[in-house]
Amino acid sequence: MADQLSKVFAALADPTRRDMVARLSVADSTVNELAEPYDVSLQAVSKHLKVLEDSGLVSRTRDAQRRPVHLEDNVFDLMTKWIERYKQQAEERYQRLDAVLEAMNADEATNDSDSSAASAKGSDDSAPHSTDRKSRKGA
């Protein structure tokens, strides 16, 4: 699966091929139709198509002489899943970091209340400030 995805990403690394894929997402096209906007030979366009075909991004059906190029949407589903899963893995990792940070915050809160109890003795001004801090900790 990873191998196919590597091919897909390699195929999409080229701006002409990305543009072809974008146009195919609207409708199937023939090679001639696909080649129209580019200032390159039909042969060069065919080469690009071959790369897209090998990656599984597009397929070519036998429709008499027309042989339209068709975009395989399921490949994009695969890519989306693949990126989505990487994202979940990174999020999972950062949720573990959340837990570590929460423990660090709790540690500091314990130390804080020790020291603020000591410093609050001499000053009434600190009272609203420490209330504000408490409410934030609870959030």
Under the rule (CB under 8 A), what is the footprint of another protein? 1-2, 5-6, 9-10, 12-15, 18, 82-83, 85-94, 96-102, 104-105, 108, 136
37 φ/ψ angles, rounded to the nearest 5 degrees: -75, -10
Q: Which CB sits closer to another protein, 100 or 118? A: 100
In whole angstroms, the minimum distance from the beta carbon of 94 to another protein comes to: 5
Q: Which CB sits closer to another protein, 73 or 108? A: 108
From the centroid of its chain, how far is CA 112?
Answer: 40
Tokens representing residue 94 in the block = 């950062």
Report d(CA 78, CA 81) in Å as an integer. 5
In whole angstroms, the minimum distance from the beta carbon of 50 to another protein comes to: 18
Q: Which CB sits closer to another protein, 15 or 128? A: 15
71 DSSP β-pair partners: 58
Contact 11, 57 (CB under 8 A): yes
